[in-house]
Structure formats: structure tokens, C-alpha cells
Amino acid sequence: MKGASTPLFCYTPIKMNNKNNKKSEYKKLSCPKCNSEELIKRGFRKTENRGKIQRYSCKECSHRFVIDDGFFRMRNAPQKITLCLDLFYRGVSTRKGQEHLNAFYPHNSSWVSIYSWVLKYSKVIGNFTDKLKIKASEELQIDEVEYRVNKRKAFFIDSIDTETRFMVASKFVRHRTSEEIKSVLKQVKYKTENQIKIITSDGFNDYISAVKVMGVDYRKTKNPSVIRHPVTQLKNEGFNHKIERMHSNIRERTKVFRGFGSINGAFAIMNGYEIFHNFIRKHQAINCCPYELACPELKEKLNAPNKWLSLIELANQNNIK
């Protein structure tokens, strides 16, 4: 109409049915209640320590929600949580971490919180990294480290690819039996498929039956698909240097623990160390993180300085899918 005043702004609703714009506005989001993709932004959720968080509303069921970015209902900022994860695995105890928080993040700082973050996010990231397929060399080394859990013996069984230095699979167990070793090698086989041709271990007899899950069968063929290479110092057969060097790094962190309080806590902590070794810590021998050689497709996704945060985001996206 002539003479009508010009509005200060004009709101144009986004057509979600348009194939070119579908899902692009809200990064392929859907309603957690009815799975509808007809969403609109509906204000913000104000938090004390995490700032404003975008709230969405579903056109179909009117359900309002915020996106779970891996820190849903957490009372601390993601940067603060991932900082504590990094400090812990670089050798800082939970109580010293609390002193650090008191100096720089005085609100809501506790060593108990740091310990709970280690347990929680080691499991969250581990659910993602355990499903990765990796590029491996022909030789795998497997060994174990003895620990104490409530004054009883326990073992950390782990395996490493000799070329990429990637810790392929690991498990914290009560007993060092062939069944426990098999469970680790089954995970190795899932991640590497048919790439492994040689398995190097020490002279422990349970490795003989355990490596059969990788294709070793001495009864039916003289040329098995995977060869077990036992290394015994007493027989002058050599030494599995690469996995023992990794164990030195693990001991450097765990020697101050004076044992673990529970098997579940030990499993989560050591799973977190596997993540730290593969994705966070730069290996001196290869001059990069092991994942850059074993999982080159993740280089662009983990190019940010805070790799802990990137891994949590990737794990959360994977869970949503």
C-alpha cells in the first residue's frame, strides 16, 4: 500500500521442504521425541557457566529441546572439562588439578569432579574410537602390564602396531588368561581385518592358543595366515622394544597411583590413556600422533589444538547417527 511505513526488518520463514535448504539450517537435526525435521529456533537456555545455549522447537509435537553436544547438563564449560582431562593424562593428579582450578577457575572446582570427568569421557570417546578401522602394518606386538586393584593382582593387556605406533586394542582384566587375550585380539582383528601377518609376544604359553583367533592353526596347515613370533630373552630371541617402550610411558603416569580402587575405574582410566596415546600425545619416533598414520581420514576433523573437545564432538555425532 502507498504511504505505508517500511518495516525495520522482515522475517522470512525457512522452507524446510526445499531440497537445497533441507537440514542445512540446523545441521541435520531432528526432534528427539518424534524424529521430525520440521524445527524452528525458540530462544536460548541461559546457563551459569556455559553461557547461552540455543533452544529448538518441533513444529509437529511442540517439543522444545537443546542439542546434546556431549556436555548436556554439565555445570562446567567444555574448555574447563577438557583442560582437566589433558592435565590428568599428562601427569597431574586430581588434587593438583583442583589446585590449578582454584587459581584459574575458582567456581565449582573439586578433585572428585575431575575424577568423574575422566571416567565419563574416557567411556564416551572410547565408544567412538573402538569402532574405528585402521591402517596397520604386518606386525603387531602384544604384551601385558601387572597392576594392583584392592591389593590383588590385575593386568593391562595391550597391543601396538609396530609401524604407526597405534595402540590397536587394550583391556584391563583381573586375570591373565587365554580368554582375556582372545578378547583383545578379537578387537584387533575387527580394527585391522586381514592386515596383520605377524604377532610378536613374549614366551607366555596362553598366547599360543589365543592367537588362533587371528587365523593361526598349526594342526591344519604349515603356512597359517598369521604367524606367532615368540620373543624370549632367555633364549636370546630378541626383545619387543616398541611395546615395552610404550609400557615405560604408561608406567610414568600410573606409578604414582599406588594401585587402583576398582576394576571399573581402572578400565576407564586405562581406556583414556589409550585415547591419549593414540590421538593426543605426539610420538617422538614418528613425529606425529599415531592416529595420523593409522586413521588419516581424521586429520581434518582433529586439526584443532583442543583434540579432547574434537573427539567428544565426534563421539557425540556418532552416537546421534
Q: What angle in degrees, to the nearest 10, is found between the helix axes of 263-275 and 111-129?
A: 60
Convert the pLDDT of each residue in 64-78 to its tens digit: 877 777 787 778 888
Q: Sign of the C-alpha dihedral, residues 120, 135, 176, 283?
A: negative
pTM of the model: 0.80
Per residue in 182-236, pLDDT (tens digit) is 999 999 999 998 898 888 888 788 887 787 777 654 344 455 556 666 664 444 4
List, in sequence order, the alpha helices (H) in the chain.
78-89, 94-104, 111-129, 178-192, 206-210, 241-254, 263-275, 291-294, 307-320
Q: In what order do the strands lie in the sheet with 39-47?
A: 39-47, 51-58, 64-66
What the chain holds in terms of domains, given with CATH numbers, is 1-67 (2.20.25), 73-128+297-321 (no CATH), 139-294 (3.30.420.10)
User: What single letter denotes the amino acid at residue 14?
Assistant: I
Those residues with Cβ within 8 angstroms of residue 217's Cβ, 6 or more apart along the chain or in another chain: 224
Residue 312: name the closest of 126, 44, 173, 41 by CA. 126
Compute CA 291 distance to the chain's CA centroid, rounded to the nearest angstrom.
11
pLDDT of res. 118: 95
